[in-house]
Amino acid sequence: MNSKSLVITVLLFLALFAAPVAATYSPHVGDHFSYYEVQDLGSGTGDYAGYSEHTITNGVETVNGVNADGTVAASYSYSWTWNNSTGATENGNSSGDFTFSPVTFLYINGTDNQTGYVNPTVWFCMDNSIPNGGTFSLLNTEMTVISRNYSYYLQSQNRNVNTIFAQGTSSYQRNDVYGQFSADYTWKAYFDPSTGYIIGYSYNEQDTSPSGTGFTYTENLYVNSTSYPLTAATGSNPGGANSTPTQYISYIIVIIVVLVVIAILIYALSRRRALPKHSYQQSYQQQSPPPGPPPEKIDLTPKQPPVQQIVVKEVVKVKCQYCGALIDSTAQTCPICGAPRT
C-alpha cells in the first residue's frame, strides 16, 4: 500500500467516528415535552450571607399547529413552589399561548412568560443541523455547539442519552428585586439530535457588587417525558462530566487505534526510499548477462606444491677376478682392465 492509500485509509477511519449532521427538523403538531426544574440561590456574601432560596418548577411545552405565515403556534403551562431560608414559602402557576419562527427561533407573538429579555429566541429548541463549532442563540445568549454526540445522563430515565451539547458564557447587569449586581454566567444545554428539542440544561451564575455583597444562582432542568424518542448514548464525551466508565474505555480504545494507524503510516513512509532515475541498481537490473558458459567455480583454498619423491637404488659391487677392482655385479666387463666379469 502506497502513502496516498494509507492517508485515505486514515481519513476514512476517522470519518467513522464523526457524528453525521442531520437535516433541519420542522416542528410538528403534537410535539411536546414535560420538564422538571430546580432553581437555587445561595453561597451569599455580605447582605446575602447565610441566605438561600429554593424553587421547583414542573412545566409542559406543546406545539399546537403551524400558521399560514409559517410561524409555529405553541402553548405552555407550569406550576412552581418556592421557599427560602427564613421559612417563607410561596407557590403559583402560569399558562398561555405564543408563536415562534421555526427558522430564526425568535418569539413572534408573546412568550412562555419570559421577562427581562430584548427580542429573545426560544430556550427549548435549536436548529439541529448546526455543526460542531457553529453558533445559535438561546434567549439572549450566544451558544456554541461543542459536540453533536454527547452522552448526557437523563435523571428522569436513569440512563445516558445521545445529545447535542452547546455552551454559552456571558455577563449582564442585574437590577431587580435582588439588587444591582454584575452577573457572570455559564449556560450548558443539551438537545435531541433528531429534532433539536431540549433534553436538559445547567445554568450557573455568580453575582457580585463593589460592596462585597453577592450570591450564586443556579438552574438545572431536565425533561420528564417527550413526544420525540430519545436515543441511547453511543459516543463518548471529549472531556464531558457525564461519561460513564464504559464510555471512557471506548474513547481510550478509539484513541489507541488512531495512534496505531498513524504509527503504521509513519513507519511505511519512512521505509519508502525513491531511487534516482539512472541509479546503478536500475542499470544493473536492465542489463542482460554476457553470452557463453558460466564461469568456473573458483576455489580459494590455499594449495601446497607437490612433494618430490627420490628413489635411491642400491647396486651390489663385486671384485674383478683379473685386476681385483670393485665393479657392479650387473656389469658385463670390468671398466678398469676390460676383462670379462666371468
Whole-number pLDDT of residue 127: 97
Whole-number pLDDT of residue 288: 45
What is the C-alpha separation between 291 and 282, in angstroms, rounded?
21
- How much is the pTM? 0.65
Question: Is residue 90 classed exposed, middle or buried when 0-12, 13-18 and 19+ CB atoms within 10 A define those classes?
Answer: exposed
Exposure class string for 246-255: b at 16+ Cβ within 10 A, else e:
ebeeebeebe
What is the C-alpha separation between 5 and 281, in angstroms, rounded?
27
Whole-number pLDDT of residue 30: 95
Whole-number pLDDT of residue 144: 98
Could you tell me if 124 and 105 are in contact, meaning their C-beta atoms sit under 8 angstroms apart?
no
Give the torsion through C-alpha atoms of 281, 283, 286, 292, to 10 deg: -100
Whole-number pLDDT of residue 189: 98
Could you tell me if 128 and 191 are in contact, meaning their C-beta atoms sit under 8 angstroms apart?
yes
SS3 306: coil
* CATH pick for 21-243 out of 2.30.230, 1.10.3470, 2.60.120, 3.30.160: 2.30.230
How far out from the chain centre does Cα 158 lie? 26
- What cell does 74 get? 405553541
Whole-number pLDDT of residue 141: 97
Question: Is residue 268 classed exposed, middle or buried when 0-12, 13-18 and 19+ CB atoms within 10 A define those classes?
Answer: middle
Backbone angles phi, psi at 46, to 5 degrees: 65, -130
Residues of the chain with pLDDT under 50: 7-8, 10-20, 239-248, 272-290, 295, 298, 311
Whole-number pLDDT of residue 317: 74
Per domain, the residue ranges of the chain are 21-243
